[in-house]
């Protein structure tokens, strides 16, 4: 636990961006395990925030709010992916996107993140890179031997961003019609993506489809 905590602190403390949750310090006493301290986000994550707005707002205004929050997440990922060394978040989904007092999205939870550099080649947490329904095909079905553990990349974060956008706009997790993860795996294996949802603009949907491209090089 201590080793993993040190890795997360090493990564998190060097990040400074308005749409990334700020690292404040570490709390430790003799009776508890050490914990990372960050600012408290009263609004919760983006899903909770959109579900508990203080006053009802028109559907179109709510949709525009969601697009604005997603744009802020995209800027946070761009910051990570252009950082030196490059940082791959690995677990982009609504549960890990909080909303601050200014009603802006902040990306959190760097426990799975990986520094993409030769010095930190082993900076990865486990065989499970984030949650299955948000995972890119290359992480689920590596081309190499079965024992090969695929490295997440900025492109796999972009795939997850597309799934996260669908999740926020529809209020449903990706592949919501599938009740078991095994069915989701088969959908991804056969290169089938989530069905179109009426709450998503056609232009945005076309962008999501590029985020979900089977070939990572074809993603934005």
Per the model's pLDDT, the better-predicted residue between 14 and 196 turns out to be 196
- Contact between 220 and 211 (Cβ < 8 Å): yes
Contact 139, 152 (CB under 8 A): yes
How far apart are alpha carbons 106 and 53 in whole angstroms?
17
CB 67 within 8 A of CB 92: no
**Average of per-residue pLDDT across 105-129:** 55
Q: Considering only the C-alpha atoms of the chain, give the largest distance between any 2 of them, rounded to a whole number of Å.
A: 55
Q: Which helix (H) or strand (E) holds 208?
A: helix 202-211
For residue range 41-59, list pLDDT tens digits in order.
Answer: 999 999 999 988 766 677 7
Per-residue pLDDT averaged across 77-101, rounded? Answer: 94
Q: Higher pLDDT residue, 77 or 12?
A: 77
pLDDT digits (tens, 9 = 90+) for 150-173: 788 999 999 999 999 999 999 999
Which residues partner with 146 through β-bridges?
none
Q: Name the DSSP letter for residue 184.
A: H
pTM of the model: 0.85
Partners of 26 in beta bridges: 36
Per domain, the residue ranges of the chain are 43-218
- For β-strands 86-88 and 114-116, DSSP reports them as antiparallel
Mean pLDDT, rounded, of the chain: 84
Residue 22: which residues within 8 A CB-CB, separation 6 or more?
16, 38, 39
Q: What is the predicted pLDDT for the residue at 52? A: 86
Residue in the structure block whose two tokens are 């993409």: 116
CB 71 within 8 A of CB 101: no
pLDDT at 110 exceeding the cut of 50? yes
User: What is the enclosing helix (H) or strand (E) of 111?
Assistant: none
- What is the set of active-site residues? 91
Place of tokens 């030196």: 84
Neighbours of 68 (CB within 10 A): 12
Q: Give the pLDDT score at 30.
A: 67
User: Token pair 């697009």 is at which residue?
Assistant: 67
219 in the Ramachandran plot: left (φ > 0), alpha (ψ -120 to 50) or beta?
beta
Long-range contacts of 51-56 (CB under 8 A, 24+ apart): 51/171
CATH superfamily of 43-218: Transferase(Phosphotransferase) domain 1 (1.10.510.10)
């Amino acid at each position: 636990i201590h080793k993993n905590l040190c890795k997360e602190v090493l990564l998190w403390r060097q990040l400074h961006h308005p749409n990334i949750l700020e690292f404040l310090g570490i709390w430790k006493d003799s009776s508890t395990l050490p914990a990372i301290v960050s600012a408290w986000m009263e609004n919760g994550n983006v899903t909770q925030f959109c579900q508990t707005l203080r006053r009802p707002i028109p559907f179109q205004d709510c949709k525009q709010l969601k697009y604005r929050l997603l744009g802020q997440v995209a800027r946070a990922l761009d910051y990570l992916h252009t950082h030196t060394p490059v940082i791959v978040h690995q677990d982009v989904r609504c549960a890990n996107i909080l909303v601050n007092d200014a009603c802006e999205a902040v990306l959190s939870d760097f426990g799975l993140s990986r520094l993409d550099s030769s010095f930190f080649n082993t900076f990865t947490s486990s065989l499970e890179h984030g949650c299955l329904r948000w995972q890119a095909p290359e992480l689920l079905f590596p081309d190499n031997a079965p024992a090969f553990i695929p490295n997440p990349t900025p492109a796999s974060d972009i795939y997850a961003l597309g799934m996260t956008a669908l999740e926020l706009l529809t209020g449903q997790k990706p592949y919501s019609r599938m009740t078991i993860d095994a069915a989701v795996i088969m959908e991804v294996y056969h290169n089938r993506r989530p069905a179109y949802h009426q709450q998503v603009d056609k232009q945005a949907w076309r962008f999501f489809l590029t985020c979900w491209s089977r070939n990572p090089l074809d993603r934005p």
